[in-house]
Amino acid sequence: MDAEIIAIGSELLTPRRMDTNSLWLTDKLNSLGVEVVTKTIVGDDRERLTATVKAAADRSGIVIVTGGLGPTEDDLTRDSVASALGRGMSFRQELMDAIVDRFARMRRSMAENNRRQAYLIDGAEALDNPNGTAPGQWIPLPGKGAIALLPGPPREMMPMYQNHIETRLKAILPPAFIATVWYRIAGMGESDLDQLIAPVYTRYTNPVTTVLAKPGDVEVHLRARCATQAEADALLAEVAPQVRELLGDRVYSDDGAELEEALGRLLIARGATLAAAESCTGGMLGGRITNVPGSSAYFRGGFLTYTDQMKTALLGVPEELIREHTAVSEPVAKAMAQGARERTGADYALSVTGYAGPDGGTERDPAGTVYIGLASAGGVEARRISFIPDRYRVRSVACITAMDWLRKRLT
């Protein structure tokens, strides 16, 4: 069976709240071999919600609805789902007693509108909620699957799924297993990557291949769904190596690890240490490196030298070198990396200097130009890269390029 998730609440349609429940539920459903084919966020509107639930129930075997089970007038889930299924609702005294008891244990008086939470859709099974006042509901759909109504707060939703929904799903699901291979790639654009691997993955409908991209970082997901784990693993064993061979050393992770974590593993394996000297990235490179737990084992420290004076004072970059070549240049990037290595005693040092944009730059090095330096016992090198002068993108991709250069050097 396929599944749909419907998240309810007008607050989820604002920039201040994110629907994290759907991400968590997707992971849990996938572990049962269930593919989530649609996710929908619906505001507190009875007609839209009713139409959304009806459409989901018509096309998918499993529908999980989160939110809208509270006591207020804008908690419309129970009414809307009942309308979508053409069913009535009935007041259940045992649910009311449980709600009253919960308020008594909290030594609080119960508002009259909490009675709304004691109504059960006809044919539904009430699901106990020890973490809140809203009981969940499990509604079998004859010959199809089921609809589950879960509360919105994660501290209530997660235990209810684990204690009630998962076992019920296992009882109605046919055998199915999902196996996944996940490659993360740096140094290649989404369109170029897709053009490279499409001749392989387009020959297969199972596994399904998905390409996801963000600045400087691309993910390739291969997902096989079969009746047995062995069949799913066999499908991936056939397809994944073909894709992996085409991607070559661009792959920095096959287990979902971020680039900084993959780099840290290599440094630890080689007993090597690292330092950083930054200008246009403003500490972003050091921040990413130290975001990895245990990074103190290999990261010696960093220098945030945003001005020419700081490059000279902290890293020993000669003033005349900056005057002759400008602060954004290959010689200065090399001097920054070498200065960071010498001052920290690190085995490797990375440096970044550039014009992040949208303004600045020269005729030779316009906004979006970045120089990256790499110092090691073997000498000092620098590379020039150029981007569209989007400030965040330039800084982010510069960090990725620097870390990936060292990663490839270490391998």
pLDDT tens track for 78-135: 999 999 999 999 999 999 998 888 888 888 888 888 888 999 999 999 999 999 888 9
**CA pair distance 371, 188, nearest whole angstrom:** 18
Domain covering 2-172, topology = Molybdenum Cofactor Biosythetic Enzyme; Chain A (3.40.980)
More confident residue, 17 or 299: 299
As a whole number of Å, the end-to-end CA separation of the chain is 43
Residue 256 pLDDT exceeds 90:
no
Say what percent of the chain tops pLDDT 70. Answer: 100
pLDDT for 30 equals 87
Q: Tell me whether the omega of the peptide bond preceding residue 318 falls within 30 degrees of 0, making it cis.
A: no
Pairing of strands 217-226, 177-186: antiparallel
The mean pLDDT value for 265-281 works out to: 98
How many helices (H) and strands (E) would you count in the chain? Answer: 14, 17
**CA pair distance 242, 267, nearest whole angstrom:** 28
Average pLDDT, the chain: 94
Residue 402 pLDDT exceeds 90:
yes
**CA pair distance 368, 360, nearest whole angstrom:** 9
Model confidence at 38, pLDDT cuts 50, 70, 90, reads very high
What are the domain boundaries of the chain? 2-172, 177-253, 259-410
pLDDT for 73 equals 84
Model confidence at 214, pLDDT cuts 50, 70, 90, reads confident
Secondary structure E strands in 9-85: 35-42, 62-66
From residue 180, give the alpha-carbon distance in Å to each of 176, 208, 313.
13, 10, 50
pLDDT for 355 equals 97
Whether 177-253 and 2-172 are alike in CATH topology: the answer is no
Side chain identity, residue 83: S
3-state secondary structure of 228: coil
**CA pair distance 355, 227, nearest whole angstrom:** 54
pLDDT for 142 equals 83
Model confidence at 4, pLDDT cuts 50, 70, 90, reads very high
pLDDT for 102 equals 86
| CATH for 259-410 (3.90.950.20, 3.90.800.10, 2.60.260.20, 3.50.50.60) | 3.90.950.20
Per CATH, domain 177-253 is 3.30.70.2860: yes
Residue 304 pLDDT exceeds 90:
yes
